[in-house]
Structures are given as structure tokens and as C-alpha cells.
Amino acid sequence: MKANRSVSTKSAGDQALPPQEFRELLEPELRNAFRPYWVGPKGYWCLCCGYICETVNKLRRSSAEDYNRQYRESKVECDKALAKKDFFEFVFLHDWTHQVEALKGLMLRLPAAQYGRLVRRVWTESDDVLWTSMLEWTDLFLSLSEVSRRQFMTQQDQKVFDALPEKFHVYRGYYPNLNEGGMSWSLDREIAVGYGPKDARVRSKTIQKSDVLGYTNARNDKEIILQAEG
């Protein structure tokens, strides 16, 4: 859940704490999210529930209290969303680092058809599927039931997908030396060209229909979803 916090006023006695002592002040659910993110001259630590990095000299009691307060407030909102069966809102109340995890947690709670449609909506609204979540997304797609997999596609999407041959070309626009092997590809080379800056490049490859995790044209990009490379 989100734990983005506002800056609190620090008292004179609000001294910097050792990382382990700071961790013990957090709610139990937040403790597992607190771990080293990058150790360098400034000694950064990461609270992954909100993808927030703090330098060691900012690990204070007041900071822990702020994280706990925001976590409890977020949890209340999540409970409200579940109570009114707004599962899309429930997923997006979580920080992007935990949205796929929240979505996976709903798999057994919803009918397969409804779950497939929810996955499509969350995927479509997720602007960037970064390397940190590609494995989770891949695992989710691979675990979908046949009903959920088909409901991920609209009727028109299903017609397009069913009409594809067993082997076909897909294309991906990417930033040089950055995101060449992501999950999102297109059936249309011109669409792939439109992704990225002027110096963006386009990859093409031939795939088997059985390699496809999903197909959607929700963003008018004739998107073929594949397992990330590498």
C-alpha cells in the first residue's frame, strides 16, 4: 500500500536512529519492506511499500510515525474499496511496486471471467511495466485460467487473435541500450515506430502463437504481450 508521506516537524530530541531500531518502530507489514536499497556515501535505505529512499541520517522516530500513519490510512481506504467491491480502486490504492501483488491476491476471490477483465483494465492503465514488475506480471499471466485468459481479451480482440497464424512477426520500439526486451510488442511496425524518441529503434522477431501471454487493442496499439527477455 502507499506510504508516501508528508514531512513532519521534528522535535529537538528526534535524533537519527540506527536502521534496525528504525525498522522496529514500523508497523509489522512495513518492516518486511524496509531493506537496503543502495549503500553508498549517503547510506540510502528503501521502504519499498512506497518506494521511498531515506538517507541514514533521516531515519528518525517522526519518520517512522509518518510511515505508520499513512499506511494505516491507506489500509482503511483499501478496506473500503473491497467492501464496495471496487477491485480496480483497491489495486491502484497500492503503490506501483505492489500493484501486481495486490491484483494476484484477488485471483481466488473473483469469478474467473471477472478477474480476466480486471487484469485487462489494470494492465491497460499501467503506463510502464518496469523490469522490477515484469517477472510478477509474467507469473500472473501464466497462472490465469483459460476463462480468465479469454476474458482478458474483448470479443474483437479475440477475433483478431484467433485469426493470427501459428507463426507471425511482432515489433517493439525501444530506447537504445535501455528497454529492448520488454513485454509489450505490436503487430504493426508503424505503431512500434511511434514509441520512444526520435532516435528510438524498432526490433522485430518471429514468434509462435503459443508464446503469447495476451493480446489487447485497448490502447489502439495492437499489443502482443510476451515474456520479458533476459
Cα dist. 71→50, 102, 171, 218 in Å? 9, 15, 41, 33
Q: In a 10 Å sphere around its CB, with 0-12 CB exposed, 13-18 middle and 19+ buried, how is residue 14 labelled?
A: middle
Residue 2 near residue 94 (C-beta atoms within 8 A): yes
C-alpha cell at position 95? 503503490
* pLDDT for residue 146: 95
Q: What is the pLDDT along the chain (230 residues), one digit of tens a residue?
A: 655 444 444 555 678 888 888 889 989 888 877 766 544 444 555 555 554 556 656 788 898 898 899 889 999 999 999 999 999 999 999 877 788 989 999 999 999 999 999 999 999 998 666 655 788 899 999 999 999 999 999 999 999 999 999 999 999 988 777 777 789 999 999 998 887 666 678 899 999 999 999 999 999 999 999 998 76
* pLDDT for residue 175: 79
* Entry pTM: 0.80
* pLDDT for residue 204: 93
Q: What whole-number distance in Å separates Cα of residue 76 and Cα of residue 213?
A: 34
